[in-house]
Amino acid sequence: MSNLSYIEKTLQRDTELIRSRVVEMGAMAQSALLNSLRALEEGDRQLAYSVIFRDQYINEAEKELDRLCLEFLVRQQPVAGHLRFVFATIKINYELERIGDYAESIARQVLKLNPAEFGASVERIKKIAGRAIPMLTQAVNAFATRDAGLARKTMQIESEVDELRDQFNSWIIEQRVPLLALTPLLTIARRYERVTDQAKHICEEVLYMCTGENIKHQGNEVFRILFVDDHNSSLSQIAEAVGNSLVLDKFVFSSAGLDPKPVDARVWNYLQKHEYDISRHHPKSLELVPLIEHYQVVVALTPAAKQAFLSLPSKAVHVEWPGEDPSQKNLNEEQFAQSMQKVISEFQKQITELVEAIRGKESRRQTQN
């Protein structure tokens, strides 16, 4: 009986230590996000540098918590609820470290800006951060208190912030902000929005820890296809527009460039004239692609774009579709229109074939199950 009591005491001691370290790490991540926001509001470069330098403390805390979890597994050999607790903690630890990286990234973008010139943009970003940071706090509190109800409630905030981010993206493109400032501002908004993605993941782990319910992969039947070229100014924009025009159920198309530049004017005008809606498209780098880690297929449209394969999800299928870019040719109006139509027709054919192959694969998988 005494041995059982001792085991119970050591279990409680170890779980409380791990739980307290998660709370501490969550507080560090929250502080970094708040300081990066204040650095943006006040144009405080010194504070931005402080956030960058202090990210190493979050990285060190992540390593220490990982060590504690591994020791817990070896020493306690947990089962049932305690096993779910440590597995959930290991994943939450990773999510919090990622959030620390987002805060550092925001601080680095602040150093590229003069916030006084973009007051309206900063105010809109504050609205995103004003929902994202409290969501993180609630997620960590749900873990600390083992509150599944709070976790479920907190998860709902993520979609609200997605909408705020989309509104900001559309608004800032209309403001014709200089490209040198556009990318940092979009990145900052995206980073705060990504905080809610990680906070949602934390809540999912809390639900698993508390109830054994694993909802992480529910609704994961959407297939995401990413087109990449050099500048996201022509070919990749055309491919994304064509993919979306096909209105394919459960397929999401997006595009990015290694070195984003404004969309070619002739390409833009042609697509608009032929009712390909790219009004919400804007040139973006790989790091600005929403949920990039969930893309199943990455298509390189230029030789240089194959570099993207090295930095994108390892489980994604990599495909090359080499083609001629109409914007890179010295063509008259008629020749340009013919070249565009040829490219569009080829993309329609390739995308349709790819989608049918994916549907066939999924159908076979369901049959086997």
pLDDT above 90 as % of the chain: 32
Q: Identical fold at 2-211 and 223-368?
A: no
pLDDT at 367 > cutoff 50: no
Q: What is the pLDDT of residues 90-110, one digit of tens each?
A: 888 888 998 999 999 899 999
Q: What DSSP assignment string belongs to 116-150?
A: GGGHHHHHHHHHHHHHHHHHHHHHHHHHHHT-HHH
Which band of pLDDT confidence, cut at 50, 70 and 90, is reported for residue 216?
Answer: low
Residue 330 makes CB contacts below 8 A (sequence gap 6+) with none
Q: What is the mean pLDDT of residues 244-263?
A: 86
The confidence score (pLDDT) of residue 292 equals 76
Give the list of residues 6+ apart from residue 4 with CB closer than 8 angstroms, or none. Answer: none
Q: How far is the C-alpha of 109 from the C-alpha of 181, rounded, in Å? A: 9
What is the mean pLDDT of the segment spanning 110-123?
83
HEC profile for 251-317? EEEEEEECCCCCCCHHHHHHHHHCCCCCCCCCCCCHHHCCCHHHCCEEEECCCHHHHHHHHCCCCCE
* Helical (H) or strand (E) element with 110: helix 80-110
Alpha carbon separation from 80 to 77, 208, 341 (Å, rounded): 10, 11, 60
Residue 359's pLDDT is 77
How many whole angstroms separate alpha carbon 85 and alpha carbon 14? Answer: 11
User: Mean pLDDT across the stretch 225-253?
Assistant: 89
Mean pLDDT over the full length of the chain:
84
Report the phi/psi class of residue 55: left, alpha or beta, with left for phi > 0 and alpha for psi in -120 to 50.
Answer: alpha
pLDDT of 6: 60
Cα separation, 99 vs 28, in Å, equals 10
Q: In what order do the strands lie in the sheet with 251-257?
A: 251-257, 223-229, 297-300, 317-320
Q: What is the DSSP string of 1-55?
A: -HHHHHHHHHHHHHHHHHHHHHHHHHHHHHHHHHHHHHHHHHT-HHHHHHHHHHH
Q: Is the dihedral of CA 97, 102, 107, 112 positive or negative?
A: positive
Output DSSP code: residue 227: E
Cβ-proximal residues to 249 (8 Å cutoff; 6+ apart), any chain: none
Q: Above 60 in pLDDT, residue 289?
A: yes
Instruction: Return the structure tokens found at 121.
Output: 């943009």
Name 318's bridge partners.
Answer: 298
Q: What is the pLDDT at residue 316?
A: 79
Lowest-pLDDT range, 34-48, 123-137, 180-194? 180-194
Decide if pLDDT at 238 tops 90. yes
pLDDT digits (tens, 9 = 90+) for 189-200: 989 998 998 999
Instruction: State pLDDT tens for residues 19-70.
Output: 889 999 999 999 999 999 999 988 889 999 999 998 889 888 888 888 888 7
- Asked whether residue 178 carries a pLDDT value surpassing 90, the answer given is no
**Which CATH superfamily hosts domain 223-368?**
Response regulator (3.40.50.2300)
Superfamily of domain 2-211: Phosphate transport system protein phou homolog 2; domain 2 (1.20.58.220)
pLDDT of residue 52: 92
What residue spans define the domains of the chain?
2-211, 223-368
Sign of CA dihedral 173, 177, 178, 180: negative
Q: Is 213 helix (H, G, I), strand (E, B) or coil?
A: coil
User: What CA dihedral angle connects 369, 251, 214 and 157, to 10 degrees?
Assistant: -170
Q: Could you give the CA distance from residue 62 to residue 33 in angstroms, rounded to a whole number? A: 17
